[in-house]
Amino acid sequence: MGAYMSEKKYTKDHEWVSIENEIATIGISNHAQESLGDIVFIELPSVGNSVKAKDEICVVESVKAASDIYAPIDGEIIEVNNNLENDAAIINQDAENEGWIFKMKISNSNQYSELMSEDEYKQFLEQ
Amino acid sequence: MPFAGFNMPINYKTGIINEHKNVRNHSGIFDVSHMGQILIENNESYLHKLEKYIPLQLKKLTKNRSHYSFLLNKDGGVIDDLIISNIDIEDKSYLYIVYNASQKKEDEEIFISCAPNAEKIYKKNCLFAIQGPDSINVLKNIIDIPNNMNFFDILISKYNNNEIIVSRSGYTGEDGFELSIPNESAENLITHLLKNENTMLCGLGSRDSLRLEAGLSLYGHELNEKITPIEAGLSWALDKERLEDENLNGNKVLSDQLKNKLSNKKIGLISTSKSMLRDGMTLFDNNNNEIGKITSGCFSPNLNKSIAIGYIISEFNTDNPIFCEIRKKLELVKINNLPFVKKNYKKNGSIYE
């Protein structure tokens, strides 16, 4: 990660977010992929949609269950990871890098600072 | 995850899909000790009472053979599905019945009312299923298995000087064995079997996707007290002579159903997209009329698509398109004959494809 990239942060819904030049990249945490098990399908969000934090924006289907992905912050979806369309298992292999799901242009960076740091997320998982 | 009062693994380290494929291609071991196992003395008065619930001629069961059957309620609905076998243990003849963990209370009430000295053996015996084409090779150096043992044969063998019940059966569509072994030797046996690299421990997740691909019914999904074996497409498992017998629960309902058209039929479905079909989803025709529901759905590792079993109304012409409501959207699904994957049982000394 370059020095210009922000620290990775986490939501209570087990998404991770990192920010670079007002663009947030979002995926699900390694813990989330482990508990979901083999991921077989992802319904990607539509590019161009404006969303609010906590909106359900796409769905990850694993052999065990369907699970909603929420927008971690307000913004506009500007890109999705099309590689996942053919091979959703990338999320199992590398949830927090190659398995990123979508990027958004964020409109409220305060929301980002309110998310959990990696250490805080670890503590949250232990609770 | 909690399952029928037990804490059961959905999968072990390598995941459901890998476990599933290992069973289809090699072998896998399921700890199914949560299931009920009971021994009932082969006594004419007990058998007569049991025949009120079980649609077989229990006095005529072949020794050392197993049968798939049911406990039926007054309306012919299924209280449970089970495997019933006729075996001798220490020169005494018994019916050995394996039944679902989720229905233990209901089943045992019936068993004990018919045979007060019936012996629940699942507290002292574990039950393991070793499934898949290599299972015979994994097992044969450890337990004596006769060459001519066929699917649904059952016998008493030995491990560590303990008598164990070995049946050539399972619920995955593959060749395999179920082993009922005293608790004190159970861990030794599993450790012994797992030394063979062709086998691995498997959890409830792959057990479900394997049985679904094989088109096998699961209690609480395709089967319940409101569905008869005939409605569930399992009339082959009923002894037709017993349907004329007033002593069988629901015999009139069942023989009427055999003669007349049913209101619902069981179907197999396959997803045309990558969406997953799941239990409880509703099915529609192309005019948005509800025609049925899915009772089991999963991802099929063999077909690389989601598959499902469900019930639809009989008058629906299956040449017409069927839609499934998935997250408020209607998606086209295709009818697929059951089973999705051909069964691979050992019969008459050879394994039929």
Are B190 and B243 found together in one domain?
no
What residue of A is the nearest CA neighbor of B305?
A40
A 23-82 near B (Cβ less than 8 A): 37-38, 40-41, 43, 59, 61, 63-64, 66
Going by C-alpha positions, the residue among B173, B343, B336 that lies closest to residue B268 is B336
Rounded Cα distance between B310 and B289, Å, is: 16
Name, in order, each residue with C-beta under 8 angstroms of B220's C-beta and a sequence gap of 6 or more: B102
Rounded Cα distance between A72 and A109, Å, is: 11
Q: Once rounded to an integer, what is the mean pLDDT over residues B282-308?
A: 97
Are B46 and B166 found together in one domain?
yes
How distant, in Å, are the alpha carbons of B18, B215, B332 from that of B300? Answer: 12, 12, 17
What residue of A is the nearest CA neighbor of B297?
A63
Q: Quick check: is B324 in a domain?
A: yes
**pLDDT single digits (tens) B102-117:** 999 999 999 999 999 9
Question: Which pLDDT band holds residue B294 (cuts at 50, 70, 90)?
Answer: very high
Q: What are A117-120's contacts with CB under 8 Å, separation 24+?
A: A117/A7, A117/A9, A117/A10, A118/A7, A118/A8, A118/A9, A118/A10, A120/A10
Better pLDDT: B165 or B4: B165
Q: Quick check: is B82 in a domain?
A: yes
Is the model's pLDDT at A95 over the cut of 80? Answer: yes
Are B239 and B206 found together in one domain?
no
Question: Which pLDDT band holds residue B8 (cuts at 50, 70, 90)?
Answer: confident
Question: Which pLDDT band holds residue A109 (cuts at 50, 70, 90)?
Answer: confident
pLDDT of residue B353: 29
| Structure-token pair, residue A95 | 């949830």
| Structure-token pair, residue B68 | 């798939």
Q: Quick check: is B182 in a domain?
A: yes
Candidates A33, A35, A40, partner chain B, best to mutate (most B CBs within 10 A): A40
A22 touches chain B (CB under 8 A): no
**pLDDT single digits (tens) B215-265:** 999 999 999 999 999 999 999 999 999 999 999 999 999 999 999 989 999
Q: Quick check: is B229 in a domain?
A: no
Going by C-alpha positions, the residue among B353, B212, B229, B185 that lies closest to residue B296 is B212
Are B251 and B186 found together in one domain?
no
Are B114 and B254 found together in one domain?
no
Is the model's pLDDT at B204 over the cut of 70? Answer: yes
Which of the 8 DSSP states describes residue B185? H
| Structure-token pair, residue A84 | 């996942």
What residue of A is the nearest CA neighbor of B11?
A37
Using DSSP, state whether A29 is helix, strand or coil: coil
Are B129 and B243 found together in one domain?
no
pLDDT of residue A2: 43
What residue of B is the nearest CA neighbor of A41?
B274
pLDDT of residue B6: 80
- Of all residues in chain B, what percent carry a pLDDT higher than 70? 98
Is the CB of B276 less than 8 angstroms away from the CB of A37? no
Are B262 and B135 found together in one domain?
no
Q: Pick B205's closest partner by Cβ from A59, A61, A63.
A: A63
Nearest-Cα distance to chain B for A2, in Å, is 33
Is the model's pLDDT at B72 over the cut of 50? Answer: yes
**pLDDT single digits (tens) A3-59:** 456 789 999 999 999 999 889 999 999 999 999 999 999 999 999 999 999 999 999
Q: Quick check: is B349 in a domain?
A: no
Q: Could you give the residue ranges of the DSSP H alpha helices within A1-127? A: 30-36, 83-86, 90-93, 109-113, 118-126
Is the model's pLDDT at B179 over the cut of 60? Answer: yes
Q: Once rounded to an integer, what is the mean pLDDT over residues B23-27?
A: 98
Q: What is the CATH number of the domain that holds B84?
A: 3.30.1360.120
Q: Quick check: is B351 in a domain?
A: no
Rounded Cα distance between B71 and B53, Å, is: 5
Contacts of B298 in chain A (CB under 8 A): 63
Are B169 and B42 found together in one domain?
yes
pLDDT of residue A5: 62
Are B207 and B250 found together in one domain?
no
CATH topology of domain A9-109: OB fold (Dihydrolipoamide Acetyltransferase, E2P) (2.40.50)
Tell me if B212 sits within 8 A of B305, measured CB to CB: no
Is the model's pLDDT at B350 over the cut of 50? Answer: no
Strand-pairing partners, residue B341, are none
Contacts of A92 in chain B (CB under 8 A): 15
Are B66 and B184 found together in one domain?
yes
Sign of CA dihedral B210, B212, B213, B216: positive
Name every residue in B having a CB less than 8 A away from some CB of A. Answer: 10-11, 15-17, 205, 209, 274-276, 278, 298-299, 306, 327
Helix B16-25 × helix B204-213 angle, to 10°: 50
Is the CB of B276 less than 8 angstroms away from the CB of A38? no
Write down the ipTM of this complex. Answer: 0.78
Q: Once rounded to an integer, what is the mean pLDDT over residues B142-157?
A: 94
Is the model's pLDDT at A1 over the cut of 80? Answer: no
pLDDT mean across residues, chain B? 95
- Of all residues in chain B, what percent carry a pLDDT higher than 90? 91
Using DSSP, state whether A53 is helix, strand or coil: coil
Is the CB of A37 less than 8 angstroms away from the CB of B11? yes
Range of the domain at B106: 2-213
Are B142 and B195 found together in one domain?
yes
Q: Once rounded to an integer, what is the mean pLDDT over residues A63-88?
A: 94
pLDDT of residue B351: 36
3-class SS letters over B56-93: CCHHHCCECEEEEEEEECCCCCEEEEEEEEEEEECCEE
Are B134 and B43 found together in one domain?
yes
Q: Quick check: is B228 in a domain?
A: no
The residue ranges of every structural domain in chain A are 9-109
Candidates B299, B305, B328, partner chain A, best to mutate (most A CBs within 10 A): B299
Is the CB of B275 less than 8 angstroms away from the CB of A43? yes
Going by C-alpha positions, the residue among B268, B266, B213 that lies closest to residue B236 is B266
Is the model's pLDDT at B212 over the cut of 80? Answer: yes
Contacts of A38 in chain B (CB under 8 A): 15-17, 299
Q: Once rounded to an integer, what is the mean pLDDT over residues B157-164?
A: 94
Strand-pairing partners, residue A86, are none
Q: Once rounded to an integer, what is the mean pLDDT over residues B111-131?
A: 97
- Of all residues in chain A, what percent carry a pLDDT higher than 90? 84
Q: Quick check: is B226 in a domain?
A: no
pLDDT of residue B352: 33
Please give the tally of structural domains in chain B. 2
Going by C-alpha positions, the residue among A92, A93, A85 that lies closest to residue A41 is A85
Question: Which pLDDT band holds residue B301 (cuts at 50, 70, 90)?
Answer: very high
Nearest-Cα distance to chain A for B207, in Å, is 12
Q: What is the CATH number of the domain that holds B301?
A: 2.40.30.110
